[in-house]
Amino acid sequence: MKRLSLTARLSLMFMLAVTGVLAAAGYFFNQFSVHHFDELDRHTLHEKLEAGRGLLGGLDDLRRFDELRPQLQALLGGHGGLAAFIFDDRGRQLFPAPGPAPFDTRLLQLAGQGGGELQVDGRVWRGEAGHVEVAGQRLTLLILLDVTVHRAFFHTFSGWLWSALVLCALVSALLGWLLVRSGLRPLREVTQVAASVSAKSLRERIPGESIPAELEQLVQAFNAMLARLEDAFVRLSNFSADIAHELRTPLSNLMTHTEVALTRARTVEQYQDNLHSNLEELQRMSRMIDDMLFLAKADNGLIIPDARPVELHELCEQLLDYYQLSADERGIHLEQSGAGTLAGDRSMLRRALSNLLSNALRYTPDGGTIRVLIEQDADGVALSVANPGATIAPEHLGRLFDRFYRGDPARREGGPSNAGLGLAITRSIVEAHHGRIGCSSAAGLTTFRLEFPA
C-alpha cells in the first residue's frame, strides 16, 4: 500500500484537529442552548404552577370553586401554548370545565408522576404538577407548556450544525493542504538540491536566508555534508592523480632500463646491474603500494592497535640509535628528554616516530640539532620532534598530512624514495590511538607534536 505523503499527513492532521475543535464547540453550544431553553420552560411552568397554587390556596370551600374560574382562566387559560388542568382527589377534572368528550387519561398519569413530557396529536407538551389542600380535599394542578417549536428548532439547528461541520472539515483540509505545501517549500528546495548533486555540482549549497528555524539545522547539516563530500572528492581526485604521477616514474624507469638492455647483447655483469636497478624501482613501488593499503585500511577503520604499555623514552632511544649513524655523517646532533608510558601498538608507534625522525633528518641542515621531548601528565602523553630548517609557509601547514602532498610545486622535494605518504601514515597511526598530531613552524624551527589521551 502506498504511504501518504508528508503534505497529505499534515493536511489530514490539520483537518482532524479543526474538525475536532469545531465538533466539540458545536456540541457544547448545542447542549448549552438546550439547557438554556429547558431552564426557561421550567421557569415558566414553575411560575404558573405557583401562581395557580396561590389562587387555590385562598379557597376555603370547594363549592366556591366556580367563583375562581374567571381568575384561573385569566391566569392559566388565556396563554397560547399553555394549558392547565385541575383534578380533585377522585380524579375528576375541575378545570377547565370538562366537555362532552372524555379527557385524556394520560393527563392523570402525568399529574401523578409530578410532571414529564406528553405527545398529543403530533405536538410535544412538557408538564409540571403540584398539589393544594382545599377544605380537606387534595387538588392536583397540572401545567402543560407546548415545546414543539423548541424541539423542531433544535432538530433543524443540529442538521445545520453537522452540515456546517462537514463543510468546515472540507475547507480546513483544503486550507491545510495549501498551508502545508507552502510551509514545506524549503524542504522541496532541499530535495531539489539533493537531486541535482553530482560529482560536477558539489559546490551547490542550499541558501539559508528563507529557511525556517525548524529546518535550519537540517540545512546546515546538509550543506556541511556537501562540503565534506566536495573536500573528499577533491582529495580523492588529487589522490588518484598523485598515484598516477608517483607510479609513472618507476614504471618509466623500468621500461627505459629494459628497452636499453634489449637494444643489444650485453655481458652478464651488465644484465645484473640492470636487474639491480629494476629491483630498486620495484621495491619502491612495493613500499608505495603497502603504504597506500595501510592508509586505505586506516580510512575504513580496519586498523585496531594493540593496547599494551609502551615506554616511549625507550622506543625513542632505539630509534635515535638507529638514525645516529646517518646523523653523524652530516654532523647532526640527536637529543632526547622526558619520559612517558602509552598504551598502544609498539610497532605502529615505532613506524610513526620513524617517519617523523626521517623527515627531521632530511630537512635539518648539517650541524643542526634534532630534539625529542616527551611529557606526561594527568591528561595524557605528548611527544614533540623539533628540528631546525627552512620555515614552512602557513598555507602548507594544514596540508602536510595529506597524501602525496609536498610543499615543492615541482615535486622534487626529498629524495627519490620520498613518496609523500609518511606524514599521512603517521596521522593515521596517531588517530588510531585516539590521539592527534599537529605541526608548527616559525623562526627556522619546525615542531611536530603528538598528543595521546590518558
Whether residues 163 and 245 share a domain: the answer is: no
Whether residues 146 and 77 share a domain: the answer is: yes
Whether residues 322 and 389 share a domain: the answer is: yes
Whether residues 289 and 333 share a domain: the answer is: no
Q: Which of 32-36, 100-104, 400-404 has the lowest mean pLDDT?
A: 100-104
Domain of 141 in residue numbering reads as 6-169
Task: Tell me what the mean pLDDT of segment 335-353 comes to.
Answer: 90
Whole-number pLDDT of residue 413: 41
Q: Which of 19-33, 127-141, 183-197 has the lowest mean pLDDT?
A: 183-197
Q: What share of the chain in percent tops pLDDT 90?
A: 30
Highest-confidence segment of 99-103, 417-421, 436-440? 436-440
Whole-number pLDDT of residue 328: 92
Query: Does the pLDDT at position 91 exceed 70?
Result: yes
Query: Is residue 187 one of the residues assigned to a domain?
Result: no
Whole-number pLDDT of residue 245: 64
Whole-number pLDDT of residue 119: 87
Residue with the larger pLDDT of the pair 193 and 315: 315
Domain of 236: which CATH number? 1.10.287.130
Whole-number pLDDT of residue 75: 83
Whether residues 37 and 58 share a domain: the answer is: yes
Task: Tell me what the mean pLDDT of segment 367-385 comes to.
Answer: 93
Whether residues 52 and 119 share a domain: the answer is: yes
Query: Does the pLDDT at position 385 exceed 90?
Result: yes
Task: Tell me what the mean pLDDT of segment 47-59 comes to.
Answer: 88
Query: How would residue 276 be classed by pLDDT, with cut points 50, 70 and 90?
Result: confident
Domain end position, chosen among 138, 169, 200: 169
Query: How would residue 142 be classed by pLDDT, with cut points 50, 70 and 90?
Result: very high
Query: Does the pLDDT at position 448 exceed 70?
Result: yes
Q: Which of 55-59, 241-245, 433-437 has the lowest mean pLDDT?
A: 241-245
Whether residues 315 and 441 share a domain: the answer is: yes
Domain of 439: which CATH number? 3.30.565.10
Domain of 91: which CATH number? 3.30.450.20
Whether residues 226 and 358 share a domain: the answer is: no
Query: Is residue 193 one of the residues assigned to a domain?
Result: no
Task: Tell me what the mean pLDDT of segment 149-162 comes to.
Answer: 89
Read off the C-alpha cell for 446: 619546525
Task: Tell me what the mean pLDDT of segment 40-56 comes to.
Answer: 90
Whether residues 154 and 42 share a domain: the answer is: yes
Query: Does the pLDDT at position 161 exceed 80?
Result: yes
Domain end position, chosen among 153, 169, 185: 169
Residue with the larger pLDDT of the pair 232 and 129: 129
Q: Which of 23-37, 40-54, 153-167, 194-208 has the lowest mean pLDDT?
A: 194-208
Residue with the larger pLDDT of the pair 266 and 39: 39
Whether residues 323 and 438 share a domain: the answer is: yes
Whether residues 359 and 400 share a domain: the answer is: yes
Whole-number pLDDT of residue 56: 87
What average pLDDT is seen over the chain? Answer: 84
Q: Which of 25-39, 153-167, 235-249, 388-402 has the lowest mean pLDDT?
A: 235-249
Domain end position, chosen among 299, 323, 346: 299
Whole-number pLDDT of residue 368: 93
Query: How would residue 167 be classed by pLDDT, with cut points 50, 70 and 90?
Result: very high
Query: How would residue 372 be classed by pLDDT, with cut points 50, 70 and 90?
Result: very high
Q: What share of the chain in percent tops pLDDT 70?
A: 89
Query: Does the pLDDT at position 129 exceed 90?
Result: yes
Name residue, grid cell 370553586: 65
Whole-number pLDDT of residue 410: 38
Whole-number pLDDT of residue 264: 83
Whole-number pLDDT of residue 199: 64
Query: Is residue 165 one of the residues assigned to a domain?
Result: yes
Query: Is residue 403 one of the residues assigned to a domain?
Result: yes
Task: Tell me what the mean pLDDT of segment 55-63 comes to.
Answer: 83
Query: Is residue 197 one of the residues assigned to a domain?
Result: no
Query: Is residue 196 one of the residues assigned to a domain?
Result: no
Query: Does the pLDDT at position 255 exceed 90?
Result: no
Whether residues 261 and 356 share a domain: the answer is: no
Q: pLDDT tens for residues 406-432?
A: 655 433 344 445 567 788 888 888 988
